[in-house]
Amino acid sequence: MRAPTMTAPVDAMECRTLQRETSGGIPLTRIASVFEAERESYVATHPRSLALAGRGIAGYYQGVPMHWMRDWSMPYPFVVDSARGALLIDVDGNQYSDFCLGDTGSMFGHSPPPVTEAIVRQAGRGLTYMLPTGDAIAVGRLLGEHFGLPHWQVATTATDANRFALRVARAVTGRPRILVFNGCYHGTVDETFVRLIDGHAVNRPGLLGQVADLTQFARVVEFNDVPGLAAELAHGDVACVIAEPVMTNSCMVLPAPGFHAELRRLTREAGTLLLIDETHTISTGPGGYTRAHGLEPDLFVLGKPVAGGVPASVWGFTDEVAQRLDAVRSHTPPGHSGMGTTLSANALSLAAMRATLEHVMTDEAYAHMESLAGRLEAGLQSVIGQYQLPWHALRVGARVEFICAPGPLRNGTDAEAAHAPALEQAMHLALLNRSCLIAPFHNMMLVSPATTIEQVDSLVDAFEGVAASLALSLDDWH
């Protein structure tokens, strides 16, 4: 089924087709008329953003500093004036309850006071020196305390951290391949850009400038597929399995009961290392999903919010990996390790990280996030039930998602099929017009320590309003 371009006029023949077609169980004709009304409302309330960015911002390719800023549901991006806590204000003075939170970079709220203070303190003392600081010394201890591993390195993005950790995995095992779960996203790490299509691994469609056959160095299996995992590991050439403990980057997929125990058992049996990427699932608690569920990764990655929104990431590993790495390095000729980037572990990011780990990622903060996220999930689920929609809502800690398809989803293929692009585009814009900003690209909402109960309730009300506008009457759903 082709999703219509919601901004383009629909001709009569297309209109007849659309009447029969649905997205997420809603007729496309209905979605198109809701989208059009929301588009008009958006344009009417965002005149300054239209003047500043509506025709593309001068100087930028495609009119934006980063191309994905064009991929939101709105007709043109609004220009941000400021944000604080869970409130974001645009240049037209519109205020939003922010549940996108920089899609996790600001998961602990915008400019948490301890982070702001640390940044201000460091700003007058130099920003980057390629040498450790007092904050770096404190962070070394804090990382171990939070995440339970003894050896750490600091990088700038989760992409970099994953890339470096995979390099170490290959170095210490001497094996060429990594194994990913179909539908995963771990940043722009080349070897993870593979997909299963009709049971065959292929380069992920859409990659620009990728000349290599990435499947030569990767294996792909479906999440929750234990026999498939065992079969791929049995080749004996997999250095590392890289996994999010819950798949969060398409529609959310929870691990089946016992899946993580089997994943660990099979990787150990195969002599394959296990990398747990907690960049999104850090929503679970101050030690991530790993601590909350007793996972035992060999390598651990966390990016995005670890320095409260200042670019930074960390990757850690066990004593055993460290010893094996020492052994490899003892007979590696001097030269470039292939890991680096000049601004990694700079003084500013370590000051912000220390403040985040010491004062922001606290048990109290997570208790608040967990409780309000539970309220949000229950509220969404209740609206879904009220309208008997073929949808579901779910949650991992402070990360909540509504999915416009029945659940539970078992794997990446299910998750891909569960997306309803036309419907989601209309819903995102309608929620935005009701002052609620959710993450683009999927239907994800984050609850921060600064989010209030009123904001959560207003999002549930907005969701109900959108459901009502999509349905002319309850009978229309069926």
Ligand X SMILES: Cc1ncc(COP(=O)(O)O)c(C=O)c1O
Residues found near ligand X in the complex (CB under 6 A) = 157-159, 162, 185-187, 244, 249, 277, 279-280, 303-304
Residue 276 CB, shortest distance to ligand X, in Å, is 10
Residue nearer to ligand X on the CB measure, 110 or 304:
304
Nearer to ligand X, 23 or 192 (CB): 192
Strand pairing of 238-243 and 273-277? parallel
> Are β-strands 26-27 and 80-84 bridged in parallel, bridged antiparallel, or unpaired?
unpaired
CB of 302 to ligand X, least distance (A): 9
User: Which residue lies nearest ligand X, judged by its C-beta?
Assistant: 187
In the bound complex, what is the minimum distance in angstroms from residue 245's beta carbon to ligand X?
Answer: 10
Q: For residue 432, what are the CA distances in angstroms to 75, 96, 155, 297, 436?
A: 12, 7, 34, 39, 5
Q: Which is nearer to ligand X, 172 or 306 (CB)?
A: 306
Closest distance to ligand X from the beta carbon of 51 (Å): 30
Name the token pair of 164: 């470096």
Q: By the 8 A CB rule, do 425 and 431 touch?
A: no
The closest alpha carbon to 448, from 47, 105, 2, belongs to: 105
Q: How far is the CB of 279 from ligand X (least distance, A)?
A: 4
**Residue among 32 and 189 whose Cβ is closer to ligand X:** 189
Closer Cβ to ligand X, 166 or 456, answer by number: 166
Q: Which is nearer to ligand X, 186 or 324 (CB)?
A: 186
| Residue with Cβ nearer ligand X (249 or 451) | 249
Distance in Å, CB of 102 to ligand X, minimum: 10
Residues 6+ positions from 127 with CB-CB distance below 8 Å: 346, 347, 348
Nearer to ligand X by C-beta: 173 or 249? Answer: 249
Q: 399 has which bridge partners?
A: 396, 446
**Strand 95-98 to 218-221 pairing:** unpaired
First to last CA, the chain: 20
Give the separation between CA 238 and CA 267, rounded to whole angstroms: 9
Q: 195: which strand partners?
A: 202
CA 336 to chain centre: 31
Min dist. Cβ of residue 416 to ligand X (A): 16
CA distance 209 to 347: 34
Whichever of 196 and 312 has its CB closer to ligand X, that residue is 312
Joined tokens for residue 149:
């591993």
Least distance to ligand X from the beta carbon of 287, Å? 17
Q: How far is the CB of 346 from ligand X (least distance, A)?
A: 16
Q: How many CB atoms lie within 10 A of CB 370?
A: 17
Helices (H) and strands (E) in the chain, counts: 15, 18
| Alpha carbon distance 383, 376 (integer Å) | 11
Residue 260's Cα: distance from chain center in Å?
20
CA neighbor of 219 nearest in space, from 206, 204, 200: 200
